[in-house]
Amino acid sequence: MISIKNFHTFRCDVYADQMIEIIEAEQLTDLFHRGFFAGEKWLFLGGGSNVLFTGDFRGTILLNMLKGREVVETLDGYTRIRFASGENWHSSVLWTLKKGYNGLENLSLIPGTVGAAPMQNIGAYGVELKDVFHSLQAFDIRTGDIVTFFNDECRFGYRESIFKHEHRDTIIIISVDLLLKTDGVTNVSYGDILKTLETMACSFPYKATDVSQAVISIRQNKLPDPEILGNAGSFFKNPVIGPDHYNKLKAKFPDMPAYVISDHEIKIPAGWLIEQSGFKGKRFGDTGAHEKQALVLVNYGEATGSDILELAAAIQKEVRERFDIHIDPEVNVIE
């Protein structure tokens, strides 16, 4: 067995039966013809920034080492850029900014690989991946074919996509095509960004590189570095409730923050719910909710995946009893 402690950001001490580094897509084709996908338990693992192993993985880790970035075409004011799925997400964002492209600056410093981005439809500070997504290329383990999914086929939602459901165990993302611009227009609709840009003494119109630096500063101040303290970022998704439910809670908790999505949907920050439930900064053995951001569950050193999952369940229970709201994990639990 091989230790995978350093291949996932929770840094739990777990093992896998074996690991294969995937450095080119042809390896997947070879595995298919050998019958690997039909008879083996496997996991295609990128940066490991959104997974929680509750124990040893009795199967094969396919470690995503696919690399490469290239301009595919320019049309209608957009440039389509193809990123291999094993490329580091944040490094890819910085690469686009260095090349003069804008569109990804609000998504700076999100951990993980490019291939994980469409699975989660990652988002931050008013921007989601679906806003710049064109298509992706994937290996279908059922047929051995390379298939393409375009934006409208991915069923993107809030931290959702078809790749977390119907295609969770049937396709492996090889590359992702994004549509970026060079017009310099940035999204600074979130107040924290504007405040930080003012602190940085940046002048309007704001450069994409300035917005990126502002986002990096905000995230570094709020979130623990997984290289120092094991975590997978936000453990839970922000729940969405209806207006009647919201009005009842607002009457009882007048300081409750909320974001209107539509006439029928209101998003409540999960971090606020967890903090109000008494978990922020509270430690349970070697795990707990982070002192600066209750939404982030951490491993102080020796916590097991089961310890963290047990804490998550306790948080869910308390939030449900206090607010009548169920919060769903954003992290992929591997058992």
What residues are annotated to the active site?
159, 234, 330
Are 134 and 175 within 8 A, CB to CB? no
Are 335 and 246 within 8 A, CB to CB? no
CA 78 to chain CA mean position, Å = 25
CA within 13 Å, CB half, 203? 0
Calculated CA dihedral for residues 256, 260, 264, 265, nearest 10 degrees: -70
What SS3 class is residue 293? Answer: coil
| 161-191 per-residue burial string, b: 16 or more CB within 10 A, e: under 16 | bbbbeebeeebbbbbbbbbbeeeeebbbebe
- Look-up: residue for tokens 């193809």? 82
